[in-house]
C-alpha cells in the first residue's frame, strides 16, 4: 500500500511538473467533462490520505507492548527522529544550496528567508517572505503533520494502552472541533486543528482492531476491500471536496476499508509474489522526497532533448518515464543513503 500510495503521489506531481514545463500538454489534460473524469489533484490527495492512515496504523502496531513502560516515550521519539530527520535534513540542505545558487529553478521559492529555512528544519509550519506556506522541500508539509502526531503519540505512551487511545482521540477530535469555532491565522494552529489529523486517528483504531482480531472471515475482508475501493473511485470521479473535513469524510473511511481489507486478504504466499512492490514500499520515504529533485530535472531533460533533436514527446511518454525514473532513483537513494544512515544511527541507541 505504501508503494501504490507513493506512485499516486509521484504521478500527480509528474503531471503538474510536465504541465508547467510544457504548456501544450494542458490541451491533452483538459477533461472532456470535468464532472465525469477525475483530476490529478484528487489522485494525489488519496495517496496522502493512505500514507497518513498507514502511519497511524504502524505507530500503534509497532508500539503496542510499549505503553506505560519506562522510557518508552523517549525511545519511541528517538527512533522516529532517526527514521525521518537525517534524510529530510540532507535533502533540505541540498534544496537550500540550489536555491542560493539557482533561484530561477524554483517555481515559488525565490528568497533565502532564514526564519523559514530554520522552521523547515524544525518541522514548524511557517510562511516565508515570499508567502510560501510549505517548507523548503514542498512535500515536507506532510512531515510537519507526522512530527506533531509523533509528539502526541509519544505522550500517550506514558499511559496504559487503555487510557492512551482515548487520549489520542480526545486530542485530535477536540482540536478539530476547535477549528469550527475558532479560525486561527497562525500556521502552527492551523496545522494542529486540521481535520487531516483524523487520518492518523483512523489508522490507530484500525491497528487497535487488528491487534484484538488478527483473523477475520476472508470473504468479509475481500468484500470490505472491494467496497472501499468502489467508494474511493466513486468519490474521486463525482466529487471535488475543498474543505479538509469533507476530504477526510469522503476519502478517509474508504481508504481505511482498503487498509483493513489488505491486512486480512494478502497472505504470505501472495506477498512473496510481489516482493518487488514491498521493496519499493520500504523505499517510499526516499521516493517521496527525491521526486522534488528528479521530476524537475527530468522535465528539463525532455525540454533540452526536444530543442536539440527538434522532436516532440507525448504526454504519456513523459509521464511514465518521469515516474519510472523517480522510482529507480528513489530506490537507489534508499539503498545507498537512507538505509545505511538509519541503520548506523539505530545501532548507536541499542
Q: What is the pLDDT of residues 100-109, one digit of tens each?
A: 888 777 766 6
Q: Looking at the domain assignment, is residue 135 inside a domain?
A: no
pLDDT of residue 36: 44
- pLDDT-derived band at 246 (thresholds 50, 70, 90) equals confident
Q: What is the mean pLDDT of residues 298-319?
A: 90
Q: Looking at the domain assignment, is residue 94 inside a domain?
A: no
pLDDT of residue 32: 45
pLDDT of residue 35: 47
pLDDT of residue 33: 46
Q: What is the mean pLDDT of residues 185-196?
A: 87
For residue 323, pLDDT over 90 is answered with: yes
For residue 242, pLDDT over 90 is answered with: no
Q: Looking at the domain assignment, is residue 156 inside a domain?
A: no
pLDDT of residue 44: 60
pLDDT of residue 244: 77
pLDDT of residue 108: 66
pLDDT of residue 157: 95
For residue 321, pLDDT over 80 is answered with: yes
Q: What is the pLDDT of residues 248-272, one digit of tens each?
A: 888 889 889 999 998 888 877 888 8
Looking at every residue in the chain, the average pLDDT score rounds to: 87
Domain with 279, as residue range(s), is 1-30+268-350
Q: Looking at the domain assignment, is residue 132 inside a domain?
A: no
For residue 217, pLDDT over 80 is answered with: no
Q: Looking at the domain assignment, is residue 285 inside a domain?
A: yes
pLDDT of residue 28: 63
Counted domains in the chain: 1
Q: What is the mean pLDDT of residues 338-344?
A: 95
Q: What is the mean pLDDT of residues 332-347?
A: 95
Q: Looking at the domain assignment, is residue 208 inside a domain?
A: no
Give the dihedral sign, CA 308/314/317/320.
positive
The closest alpha carbon to 148, from 55, 63, 57, 68, belongs to 55
Q: Looking at the domain assignment, is residue 348 inside a domain?
A: yes
For residue 3, pLDDT over 70 is answered with: yes
Q: Is the pTM of this model over 0.75?
A: yes
Q: What is the pLDDT of residues 12-65, one digit of tens each?
A: 889 888 888 888 877 666 654 444 445 555 666 678 888 999 999 999 999 999
pLDDT of residue 309: 86
- Rounded percentage of the chain residues whose pLDDT exceeds 70: 92
- Rounded percentage of the chain residues whose pLDDT exceeds 90: 47
pLDDT of residue 275: 87
pLDDT of residue 81: 95
pLDDT of residue 30: 60
For residue 110, pLDDT over 80 is answered with: no
Q: Looking at the domain assignment, is residue 227 inside a domain?
A: no
Amino acid at each position: 500500500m505504501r508503494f501504490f500510495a507513493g506512485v499516486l503521489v509521484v504521478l500527480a506531481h509528474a503531471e503538474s511538473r510536465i504541465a508547467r514545463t510544457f504548456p501544450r500538454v494542458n490541451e491533452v489534460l483538459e477533461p472532456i467533462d470535468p464532472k465525469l473524469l477525475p483530476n490529478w489533484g484528487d489522485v494525489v490527495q488519496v495517496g496522502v490520505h493512505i500514507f497518513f492512515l498507514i502511519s497511524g496504523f504502524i505507530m500503534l502496531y509497532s508500539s503496542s507492548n510499549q505503553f506505560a513502560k519506562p522510557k518508552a516515550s523517549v525511545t519511541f521519539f528517538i527512533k522516529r527522529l532517526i527514521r525521518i530527520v537525517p534524510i529530510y535534513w540532507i535533502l533540505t540542505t541540498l534544496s537550500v544550496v540550489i536555491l542560493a545558487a539557482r533561484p530561477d529553478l524554483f517555481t515559488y521559492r525565490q528568497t533565502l528567508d532564514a526564519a523559514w529555512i530554520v522552521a523547515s528544519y524544525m518541522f514548524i509550519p511557517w510562511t516565508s517572505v515570499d508567502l510560501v506556506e510549505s517548507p523548503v522541500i514542498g512535500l515536507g508539509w506532510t512531515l510537519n503533520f507526522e512530527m506533531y502526531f509523533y509528539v502526541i503519540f509519544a505522550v500517550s505512551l506514558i499511559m496504559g494502552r487503555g487510557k492512551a487511545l482515548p487520549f489520542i482521540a480526545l486530542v485530535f477530535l477536540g482540536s478539530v472541533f476547535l477549528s469550527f469555532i475558532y479560525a486561527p491565522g497562525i500556521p502552527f494552529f492551523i496545522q494542529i486543528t486540521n481535520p487531516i489529523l483524523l487520518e492518523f486517528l483512523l489508522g490507530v483504531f484500525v491497528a487497535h482492531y487488528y491487534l484484538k482480531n488478527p483473523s477475520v472471515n476472508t470473504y468479509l475482508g475481500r468484500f470490505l476491500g472491494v467496497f472501499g475501493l468502489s467508494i474511493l473511485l466513486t468519490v474521486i470521479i463525482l466529487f471535488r471536496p475543498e474543505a479538509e473535513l469533507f476530504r477526510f469524510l469522503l476519502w478517509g473511511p474508504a481508504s481505511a476499508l482498503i487498509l483493513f481489507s489488505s491486512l486480512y486478504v494478502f497472505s504470505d504466499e501472495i506477498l512473496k509474489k510481489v516482493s518487488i512492490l514491498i521493496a519499493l514500499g520500504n523505499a517510499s520515504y526516499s521516493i517521496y522526497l527525491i521526486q522534488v529533485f528528479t521530476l524537475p530535472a527530468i522535465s528539463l531533460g525532455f525540454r533540452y532533448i526536444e530543442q536539440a533533436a527538434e522532436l516532440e514527446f507525448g504526454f504519456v511518454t513523459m509521464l511514465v518515464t518521469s515516474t519510472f525514473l523517480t522510482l529507480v532513483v528513489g530506490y537507489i537513494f534508499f539503498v545507498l543513503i537512507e538505509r545505511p544512515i538509519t541503520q548506523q544511527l539505530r545501532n548507536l541507541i541499542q
